[in-house]
Every structure is written in structure tokens, then in C-alpha cells.
Structure 1
Amino acid sequence: MHGIRRVRQTQEERQASKRKELAKIEEFNALTQRILARKKGNDWSDEAFQLTTKLLQINPEFYTLWNYRRNILLKGKFPNSSPEQVHELLEDELSMTMTALKVRPKVYWIWNHRMWCLEHIPKGPASDGEPGADGWKQVVWNKELFVVEKMLDADSRNFQAWNYRRFVLASMPTPRSESSELAYTSKKIEANFSNFSAWHQRSKTLTSLWAQGKLDESKSREAEFELLRNAMYTDPNDQSVWMYHRWLVGTGGGKDVLEREISAIQELLDEQPDSKWCMESIVHYKRLLLNNYAKDVDTQHLTRDCKDLLERLETLDPMRRLRYRELAGEIGPSTS
């Protein structure tokens, strides 16, 4: 970095550093071999369990160790434990993986282990005020929702955390209202329009609400278009917004909606003449008009417009030149 003086190591220091690294590698390999030997021998002991803890702290992406660890729990620890003790063991596992996630928040196998832990929480006593409800599971799931929200506060685009959130929401003993989830995605999107995972979660939530008749589909779709127009003008180069726009149009965009959205995007393109996403989207929607409403539109005019835009895109985005030429060929010849 600028302004920071680089300290040169002596040859002895470099050699010492190299020896230290080699020693770490040798220790890691030796520990790995010890654990794999125990796994091969179906060792479900507490000592084997502690060894997996040690190695997973070094390399949490070692999925074979996570599998072995779960087998030790299932075959070595759970059979000799009461439901209360199983619950405590799984709480310890959640704490252990939380420590790992603070350092490696996007490692799939850590999140996967948390899912497994939740799925194996034993049936517990009823929670206060909810006769017959499974108190342990309700408390744990509520805590997990809080944990994943904290993780998303730290990195709102962590797709592994979003996937885990969807798992938690789908599995909660007392379901969270989807209206609340829609509000949550609104908060995340308003904080950062580039949050593709939040847009994706929003699409899943809206689809469910519409299917259940819990939300006026026509009115909410128009509200989404308005939200998108604000996002487009805020950052016309944000891919997340355009992808969501295509999803929304695809959920029920007839000829009138296509023409309206093309007109709105054209207004933005007039202000941002080098916007690749504006051009690509106009071509995409005009092709939909050509493919689905050929009898009701001026095909020659639409074809010419698409080809002109694709030529501009070739210049603007030369890395995808062949793709734009392929699209132009699919549209067919235009007539002047």
C-alpha cells in the first residue's frame, strides 16, 4: 500500500518462515490422516469428535469431515444421550459453526451443517403460552432467524445466508408471515438496489403471496414496476434491477405492458445513451412483441430498431459482439 514502508526479510527470516509453513502443512496432513483412519475404522468416540473440531477450525471446507462429524453425533453421542442432552449438543454445534462463519461467512458446508443441526433438534416441552407447541424448536428457529439477519446486516449480498434464511423460514414451527418477509426485502433493496439475492427472495415471496390470494396481484405488480423505475434511474447499470424487471414482465406482461415498459426504458436511454442494459432490455422486449404479437405490431419498424440497437451494442460491448450478431440473425432481415 502507498505510504507504508515495506520491510525486507533477511534470507534467514525467509527460510524460517518457509520452515514454519512447511511444519504447519505437515501437521495438517498428519492430523488429516489420523482422522481419516478413524473414520475408516468407524470410530464414533469423543476423541475422534474433538479431532474433527480441531481440523475443521483450520479448514471448514473439508466436507468429508463434516459428514464424519455428523456420523459421530448420530452413532456415538445421540444414542447415549437424553433429549435434553441432544439439544445441548446441537446448541454447541450451532455455536461452533457460528464462530466459523464469523471468519468464513460464505462457506457452504458450514451453513449446511447448521441446517442439519436444526433438522435434528429433538421434540421438547411446550413453550410458554403455546400449549402443545414445540418449545425447543420454536426458540431455536427464532434465534436462527435473528442470527441470519445479523449476518445479512454484515453482508446483505451473502447468497449462502439468503439460502439459509429461506430454509429457516420454510421450516419454522410457527411460520413467519410472508408480508413480513416482503417488508424485509424492501428494507434490504432500499439500502442497496444491487442486492440480487434480495430481489430473488422478493420474487419468491410475491409468487407465493399471489398464489395464495393474500395480495392483490395487479396492484402489487404495478407497485413493483414503480419500485423498479426508481431503481433503474438510480443506477441504470445495475444488472440485478434489470433481471428482476424481466422476471416481473414475464409473470404477466401482455402487449400493453411490454409497450409501456419499452417506452419507459427508452426515456431512460435518451438520458443515458450508453446504457447497455437499457439497450439489451429494449431489444429483449421488442423481440417478445415480434414473437408473440406479430399481427398487431409494425414488425418492420421493430426489427429495424432491434438491429440498430444490436449494432450499437457491438460497439459498446465488443466482448459480446458475436452474441449480438447471433441475436440479429435470429430476428431476421429488416426492410427499409
Structure 2
Amino acid sequence: MHGVKRVKQTPQALDAKKQRECAKLAEYLALTKDIISRKKSRDWSREALHLTSRLLQINPEFYTVWNYRRNIFLHGIFPNSTLEGINELLSDDLSTTMAALKAHPKVYWLWNHRRWCLENIPSGPISDDGSDSGGWKKSTWDRELFVVEKMLDADPRNFHAWDYRRYVLASMTTPRPKKSELAYTARKIEANISNFSAWHQRSKVITSLWDGNRIPLAKSRKEEFELLRNAMYTDPNDQSVWIYHRWLVGSGADKELLESEIAAIQELLDEQPDSKWCMESIVHYKRLLLRNHLEHVDTQKLSAECQELLEQLQRIDPWRRRRYEGIAQEMTG
């Protein structure tokens, strides 16, 4: 840090530090060797479980140890436990992985183990009328959605958390309304239009709403284009917005829609003459017109306009020059 005087460590201090690091490494290697040996001998004891806890605290990416831990539960501990005991054990593991995720939010194996825990929570308890109320599972799924929302509050672009959120939503005993999830993605996008994961989630949710005829298709598409228009003007260089725009156009790319969106993007390009994404998108949509509506467009005019834009793109985006040249050659060939 600026303004903080560095204190030079003595040779003795450096040597002591090195010895501590060597001791930690030796302990880690010995622990690893012990656990791998126990795994090979099919040791399903609670002692072995405790050792895996110690090792995974040091290295949460050691997937072999996660697999061994699950086998200890399945073959050694669950068979001798009550349903309440199994639920308590898995709840403890959910708490442990939650603490680990705060430090390592993008370690896949932590998210993966949470899935396994949730899938192995026993149903129950049984209600007074003798029916299975969903009990632990229901309350756990509700809590899990709260957990993943907290994770996304901390890092709205954590794609592991978004993928896990989709898993939780699909597994909940009482499904969350799709419109609620659509509103959730809108809030995340409003907070940060660059949140590609939120746009991706939105595409999945809105597609399911369209497929189920739960929202008017034409009205919904119009609203999505309005949302995109605001995002484009906020940051015309944001890739996430343009990728979602192409997906939305692709969901109903008739001639009228293509021409309407080309005109709208051209207005933005007139204000932002060096916008790479505006140019690329106009070229993309004009090529769709040429490909899908050849008999109803001025092919010579559209081709010339695309070539002009591709030449501009080669100048402002030299790193992708070859790509633009290839598109231009493809159009003339």
C-alpha cells in the first residue's frame, strides 16, 4: 500500500516462514495419502468422514475426496441412521458448503455437492393425517432459493450460481411463478445490463411462458424490444445486449421485424458512428433479409450496404479483420 513503509524481514523470519509452509505441505500430503488409502480399502467410518472434512477445507476442488465423502454417507453412515439423523447430517453439509462458497463462489464441486445433499434429503416428516407433507425437502428447497439469491446479490454474474438457481427452481415442490422469475431477471438487468447470465436466464423463462401460452406473444416481444432499446442506448457496446437481441429477433425473424430492427439500430448508429455492435448487427440482419426474403428486397442495394459496413468494421475492429473479410467474400461469392 502507498505510504506504508515496508519492513524487511530478517533471514531468521524468512526461514521460519518457509518451515511453516513446508510443515503445512507435509501435513496436507500426509492427509491426502491417508484418505486415498482409506478410500481404496472402502473405509466408510465416521473417522474417515472427519478426515475428508479436514482435507476439503484446505482444497475444496479435490473432487475425488467429494466422491469418497458421498460414498461414506451412502455405505457407512446412512444405513445406520434414522431419517432425522440423515436430514441433520445433510443439513450440516449444506451449512459447511455454504461457508466454503463464501470464500470460493466459483468452485464447481461445492455446488455439485449441494445438489447431491438436496437430492438425498429424505421425504418427511409425515403429517398428522398420514400424508407426506414434503416436510424437510420443501423447506430446504425454499431456503436454498434464498441462499442462491444471496450469492447472486454478492456476485450477480456468477454463472455457477445462475445454473444452480435453475436447478433449484426446477426442483421445488411448489413451483415458483414464471412471471416472478421474469421480474427477478429484470431487476438484475436493470442493476447491470452487462449481466449476460441474467439475460440468458430471461430467455429461458420467457420461452417457457411463450410455449405455455401464459403471456401474449406479440405484446411480450414488443416489451422485450423496448427493454433492449433502452439497454442499447445505455451502452451500445455491451455484448450481452446484442446477443439477447439476436436471440429475440431469431424467435420471429419475419421481413417486417427485420426491417424494423435494422431501422432502429441505424438510428443508434447515426448517434454512435463507431459502434461495432451496431454495424455487425445491421450486417447480420440484412444478410438474413437476403437469405430468407430474397424475392422481396433490393438485393443489390442491401449487398452494397453490407459491403460498406464490413469495410468500416475492418478499420475500427482490426483484430477481427479476417472475419469481416471472410463475410464480404462469402457475400460476393
- TM-score under structure 1 length normalisation: 0.95
CA apart distance, 1:11? 3.4
CA apart distance, 1:330? 1.3
Which residue of structure 2 lines up, in the alignment, with residue 92 of structure 1? 92
1:149-194 C-alpha deviation (Å, 9 max, x unpaired): 1111111111101000000000011111111111111111111111
Distance, in Å, in 1 between the alignment partners of 2:173 and 2:8 is 59
One-letter identity of the residue aligned with 2:252 = G
Aligned ranges 1:182-201 → 2 under 5 Å: 182-201=182-201
Distance, in Å, in 1 between the alignment partners of 2:76 and 2:189 is 45
Which residue of structure 1 lines up, in the alignment, with residue 289 of structure 2? 289
Distance, in Å, in 1 between the alignment partners of 2:130 and 2:226 is 41
CA apart distance, 1:12? 3.3
One-letter identity of the residue aligned with 2:103 = V
Distance, in Å, in 2 between the alignment partners of 1:304 and 1:31 is 68
Provide closer, same or farther for how the CA distance between residues 12 and 312 of structure 1 changes in structure 2, counting only shifts above 3 A.
farther
CA apart distance, 1:130? 12
CA apart distance, 1:290? 1.1
Aligned ranges 1:138-149 → 2 under 5 Å: 138-149=138-149
| Residues 123, 132 of structure 2: 8 Å contact kept | no
Aligned ranges 1:231-242 → 2 under 5 Å: 231-242=231-242
Question: SS state of the match for residue 156, structure 2?
Answer: coil
CA apart distance, 1:133? 2.5
Which residue of structure 2 lines up, in the alignment, with residue 246 of structure 1? 246
Distance, in Å, in 1 between the alignment partners of 2:162 and 2:212 is 23
CA apart distance, 1:303? 1.2
CA apart distance, 1:322? 0.9
Provide closer, same or farther for how the CA distance between residues 14 and 124 of structure 1 changes in structure 2, counting only shifts above 3 A.
same
Which residue of structure 1 lines up, in the alignment, with residue 208 of structure 2? 208
One-letter identity of the residue aligned with 1:258 = L
Which residue of structure 2 lines up, in the alignment, with residue 47 of structure 1? 47
CA apart distance, 1:131? 6.0
Which residue of structure 2 lines up, in the alignment, with residue 106 of structure 1? 106
One-letter identity of the residue aligned with 1:145 = L
Aligned ranges 1:40-189 → 2 under 5 Å: 40-126=40-126, 132-189=132-189
Distance, in Å, in 2 between the alignment partners of 1:259 and 1:159 is 34
| Residues 169, 175 of structure 1: 8 Å contact kept | yes
| Residues 127, 134 of structure 1: 8 Å contact kept | no
One-letter identity of the residue aligned with 1:257 = L
- Identity, in percent, stands at 66
| Residues 269, 278 of structure 2: 8 Å contact kept | yes
Using the TM superposition, name which of 308-317 and 18-27 deviates more.
Answer: 18-27
Distance, in Å, in 2 between the alignment partners of 1:256 and 1:103 is 50
The yes-or-no answer on 1:264 pairing with 2:280 is no
The yes-or-no answer on 1:12 pairing with 2:12 is yes
1:82-116 C-alpha deviation (Å, 9 max, x unpaired): 11111111101100100100100111100000011
One-letter identity of the residue aligned with 2:74 = L
Distance, in Å, in 2 between the alignment partners of 1:155 and 1:309 is 37
Which residue of structure 1 lines up, in the alignment, with residue 2 of structure 2? 2
| Residues 127, 136 of structure 1: 8 Å contact kept | no
Provide closer, same or farther for how the CA distance between residues 230 and 9 of structure 1 changes in structure 2, counting only shifts above 3 A.
same
Q: CA RMSD in A?
A: 1.6
1:281-300 C-alpha deviation (Å, 9 max, x unpaired): 11111111111111111111
Distance, in Å, in 2 between the alignment partners of 1:257 and 1:5 is 64
Question: SS state of the match for residue 52, structure 1?
Answer: helix
Which residue of structure 1 lines up, in the alignment, with residue 322 of structure 2? 322
One-letter identity of the residue aligned with 2:193 = F
Distance, in Å, in 2 between the alignment partners of 1:258 and 1:11 is 71
CA apart distance, 1:127? 6.6
Question: SS state of the match for residue 122, structure 1?
Answer: coil
Provide closer, same or farther for how the CA distance between residues 3 and 257 of structure 1 changes in structure 2, counting only shifts above 3 A.
farther
Structure 1 residues without counterparts, runs of 5 or longer: none
The yes-or-no answer on 1:26 pairing with 2:21 is no
One-letter identity of the residue aligned with 1:224 = E
Q: How many pairs does the alignment contain? A: 333
1:301-328 C-alpha deviation (Å, 9 max, x unpaired): 1111111111111121111111111111
Provide closer, same or farther for how the CA distance between residues 140 and 130 of structure 1 changes in structure 2, counting only shifts above 3 A.
farther
Provide closer, same or farther for how the CA distance between residues 297 and 126 of structure 1 changes in structure 2, counting only shifts above 3 A.
farther
Provide closer, same or farther for how the CA distance between residues 19 and 307 of structure 1 changes in structure 2, counting only shifts above 3 A.
farther
Question: SS state of the match for residue 174, structure 1?
Answer: coil
| Residues 189, 199 of structure 1: 8 Å contact kept | yes
One-letter identity of the residue aligned with 1:329 = Q
